[in-house]
A and B are shown apart, each in its own frame.
Chain A
């Protein structure tokens, strides 16, 4: 469902990107898994997620609007995102869910609570591995298996610059175009768009909801 492994990040970057997702395995823990995945998302709301999704079918918090008209554009204003309650209501079996946090303490609190809930679903954290290990004694959750990102190889000249790459890899499925990220960077620099607005536009292309708008805002402001 996600592809959050190769987000462009270094250990000394601000620790503002933690993706948590849950998955079921058919025949093993998929009975009643939809309700459990809903509970997973409902619980996450206490910890200020910056993005969330209940599977990629209907899309995450940030979604395109397919029926705009001049009234909606210039009078009512555009919808920035859909409410989490709608996402939870739309979820369909077997039930998978994803949340993005921008603070380590939120991730820690969430993991602690999810452990206590004992949903029986597989829970994965995509983040800096040291951070996950460091909080393990407090959360009571230790790594079971790890998929390490080993970086890019091949014709690296084809990769964009660091700032663009940091933005585009926030959607692991590569749906945010280099050109679009560059356009957003330029428009923010030109003060034709706020970083928040630009991050919201980009987030709408990431159908899995793994796009971290908070981190994107920091990058758009010129941070690493």
Chain B
């Protein structure tokens, strides 16, 4: 992203709306984008309403009002002159937008958002079965961001344990070697708003795996949000919650798949999908 200096009126509204705090007012009193911090999430471009006011008369009016101790103040979600501009992104910078703009579907999974399915369709895919656990580690949210070099460290540490990385996952798709958990070297210095690593674990080993994650993330300059996906028994109960509480986790909030999905496509279409 960048700010078109021929349009910007320097109102500063975009400074507050940037989730990464990457927009600031420069020495010329106009907005600028710190390209290293910008994760190309497009929040400023897509989220702000625009008014398309002309720059010079608006700046003149602004200065005039300031002279009389009055304030030019557009609504806080408006860019008065439509000065926020998108750049054409090339690899590897492109990866920033793919992981930060939820309207961008991930090529590896075809899913928008963070590109993960977790157990949202487990009732029809059977991705996680009883006794298995699907651990999700979301790096970098909310608004803190994460470099892939930090994600890489955790992936490699986890690869040394018994975890099985979920293959249909955008982070796994960026691994040059799924066995070692190593990410492609060309993306390591790219920063994203957040990304989610998914892997299967044996529920019995949960405390061991969580300890590995905690030891690794303690050294990182970011925040992670953990999630554990499980399959319930036929009565909708699970034994994992009490186990999590014993380990000191507050398992209050959850995304619950209600089991209402079922295969509805005619059989040949389903067989084609499996092939």
Hey, which bits of chain A sit against chain B, CB under 8 A? 1-7, 9-11, 21, 23-32, 55-57, 64-69, 73, 78, 111, 114-115, 118-130, 132-133, 136, 141-156, 158-160, 165, 168-169, 171-180, 183-184, 187, 193, 201, 204-205, 207-208
Contact = CB atoms under 8 A, between A and B. Distances in A.
B269 A31 contact: yes
Interface extent on B, as a size class?
Answer: 35 or more
Contacts of B48: 64
B249 interface: yes
Interface in B107-139: 110-114, 117-125, 128, 134, 136, 138
B41 to A, nearest CB: 6
A144 to B, nearest CB: 3
B159 to A, nearest CB: 19
Given A124-B258, A177-B16, 11 more contacts: A5-B136, A9-B253, A64-B49, A123-B258, A136-B236, A145-B230, A147-B120, A147-B255, A154-B217, A154-B222, A169-B142
Contacts of A172: 141
Chain A contact residues: helix, strand, loop or mixed: loop
Contact of A168 (B142, B220, B250): B142
B56 interface: no
Contacts of A120: 260-264
Contact of A173 (B49, B102, B214): B102
Given A145-B123, A153-B226, A154-B222, A179 B256 contact: no
A7 B259 CA distance: 23
B194 interface: yes
B10 interface: no
A119 B264 CA distance: 9
Interface of B: 15-21, 41, 43, 46-52, 75-78, 82, 102-103, 110-114, 117-125, 128, 134, 136, 138, 140-144, 193-194, 213-214, 217-218, 220-232, 235-236, 238, 240-241, 244, 249-266, 269-270, 272-274
B46 A1 contact: no
A123 B261 contact: yes
A149 B16 contact: no
B257 to A, nearest CB: 4
B119 A149 contact: no
Nearest to A144: B259
Contact of B143 (A6, A78, A143, A177): A177
A68 B232 CA distance: 50
B121 A153 contact: no
A111 to B, nearest CB: 7
Chain B contact residues: helix, strand, loop or mixed: loop
A153 B41 contact: no
B223 to A, nearest CB: 4
Contacts of A142: 232, 235-236, 258-259
B120 A23 contact: yes
Contacts of B140: 174
Nearest to A141: B258
B75 A144 contact: no
A141 B259 contact: yes
B254 A5 contact: yes
B221 to A, nearest CB: 6
A144 B249 contact: no
